[in-house]
């Protein structure tokens, strides 16, 4: 992959003179304050973009919309108050880091739903949020980092749209012990899943279990499961369609490799064969004698 390490160069803007085939750019630890909509126009093949630890306060609309191949985006440790809605519409984005920004809950209010990005990892640590942002159904999300936040409004139902979630980081949060137990029970009773939070032994035994068994029935989890199944079928269909082409081009490649191997390993001609061949050439090239009457 074409990679450029521009970290720590005191840049105030995104470099515009790099190769258009650039796939990885690390522009972290610089002094970039604003991202314009033309910042990445020259890099349509970008897959991994690291912009953490800058001074980014504003991102113009359309800045990331052309990065349709982007898989990882790191905007951590900047001064953002809103996350651009277009980021959540990138159809290949798997990992998003926006930790250590002053986002609060309002920072996600402009996100359009449904989210099309197949996010598997989302880092919202130290963003001053009080609950999980309302991003709609996220059937691909496996890991969520919401540590170092004052999660005073965190409710069990907020995990329902995240039906594939397996890891949640809640380190250094203000989450009450019984609220932690409530979330685990919601997972176990309503969503039929194993608990995902470590609430501690004392919390599990000191909370009023009977009071915790009352939940608001939500349909988000069922919608998430349905969406997940649809995605699995769609991806399986894509693989099934692509297999004949893979076999065909694989066969062509194998055929040419085999022919090349046979040609390169063909034994050299013997001395006698070379002499005979030269005689044949001499026979065809020797001028014919004319007949004199």
DSSP state of 50: E
Residue 10 is predicted with a pLDDT of 96
pLDDT at 123 over 60: yes
Confidence of residue 164 (pLDDT cuts 50, 70, 90): very high
Amino acid 289: pLDDT: 43
Q: What would the mean pLDDT of 218-243 be, rounded to a whole number? A: 78
When pLDDT is cut at 50, 70 and 90, the band that residue 290 belongs to is very low
User: Is pLDDT at 266 greater than 70 in this prediction?
Assistant: no
| 143-145 and 121-123 beta bridge pairing | parallel
Alpha helices per DSSP H over 96-200 = 177-189
User: Distance of alpha carbon 77 from its chain centroid, rounded?
Assistant: 20
Mean pLDDT computed over 268-273: 52
CB 139 within 8 A of CB 231: yes
In this prediction, residues 138-161 reach a mean pLDDT of 93
For residues 113 and 109, give the distance between their C-alpha atoms in angstroms, rounded to a whole number: 11
CATH level 3 topology of 80-277: 3.80.10
Average pLDDT over residues 118-140: 96
Q: In sequence order, what are the residues at sequence separation of 6 or more whose Cβ sits closer than 8 angstroms to the Cβ of residue 35? A: 14, 51, 56, 58, 59, 60, 63
Structure confidence by residue, pLDDT tens digits, 23-45 = 999 999 999 999 999 999 999 99
Please give the Cα distance from 276 to 272 (Å, whole number).
6
Q: Once rounded to an integer, what is the mean pLDDT over residues 74-101?
A: 97
Cis amide leading into 114 (omega within 30): yes
pLDDT band, very low/low/confident/very high, at 107 (cuts 50, 70, 90): very high
Q: In degrees, to the nearest 5, what angle opens at C-alpha 220 toward C-alphas 214 and 224?
A: 130
138-171 core/surface letters (b: 16 or more CB in 10 A; e: else): bbbbebbbbbbbebeebbbbbbbbbbebeebbbe
Q: Is the pLDDT of residue 224 over 70?
A: yes
Whole-number pLDDT of residue 180: 83
- What's the pLDDT at 270? 53
C-alpha to C-alpha distance for 63 and 36, rounded to whole angstroms: 6
User: Looking at residues 173-194, what average pLDDT do you find?
Assistant: 79
Q: Where are the alpha helices (DSSP H) in the chain?
A: 177-189, 201-206, 209-212, 220-264, 271-285
Identify the band that residue 256 occupies on the pLDDT scale cut at 50, 70 and 90: low
Contact in structure between 111 and 132 (CB atoms under 8 Å): no
For residue 284, name the pLDDT band (cuts at 50, 70, 90): very low
Q: What is the mean pLDDT of the chain?
A: 83
Q: How confident is the model at residue 83 (pLDDT cuts 50, 70, 90)?
A: very high
Q: Which helix (H) or strand (E) holds 123?
A: strand 121-123
């Amino acid at each position: 992959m074409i990679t450029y390490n521009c970290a720590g160069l005191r840049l105030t803007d995104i470099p515009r003179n790099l190769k258009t085939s650039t796939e990885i750019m690390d522009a972290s630890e610089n002094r970039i304050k604003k991202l314009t909509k033309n910042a990445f126009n020259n890099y349509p093949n970008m897959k991994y973009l690291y912009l953490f630890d800058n001074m980014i306060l504003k991102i113009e609309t359309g800045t990331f919309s052309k990065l349709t191949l982007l898989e990882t985006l790191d905007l951590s440790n900047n001064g953002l108050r809103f996350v651009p809605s277009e980021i959540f519409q990138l159809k290949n984005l798997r990992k998003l880091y926006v930790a250590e920004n002053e986002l609060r809950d309002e920072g996600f209010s402009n996100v359009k739903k449904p989210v099309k990005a197949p996010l598997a990892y989302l880092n919202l640590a130290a963003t001053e949020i009080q609950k999980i942002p309302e991003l709609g159904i996220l059937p691909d999300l496996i890991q969520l980092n919401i540590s170092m936040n004052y999660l005073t409004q965190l409710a069990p139902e907020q995990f329902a749209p995240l039906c594939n979630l397996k890891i949640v980081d809640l380190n250094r949060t203000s989450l009450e012990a019984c609220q932690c137990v409530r979330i685990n029970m919601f997972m176990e009773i309503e969503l039929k899943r194993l608990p995902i939070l470590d609430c501690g032994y004392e919390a599990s035994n000191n909370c009023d279990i009977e009071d915790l068994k009352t939940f608001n029935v939500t349909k988000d989890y069922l919608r998430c499961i349905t969406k997940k199944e649809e995605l699995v079928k769609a991806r399986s269909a894509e693989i099934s369609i692509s297999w004949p082409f893979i076999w065909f081009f694989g066969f062509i490649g194998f055929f040419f490799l085999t022919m090349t191997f046979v040609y390169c390993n063909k034994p050299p001609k013997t001395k006698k064969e070379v002499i005979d061949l030269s005689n044949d050439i001499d026979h065809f090239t020797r001028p014919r004698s004319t007949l004199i009457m």
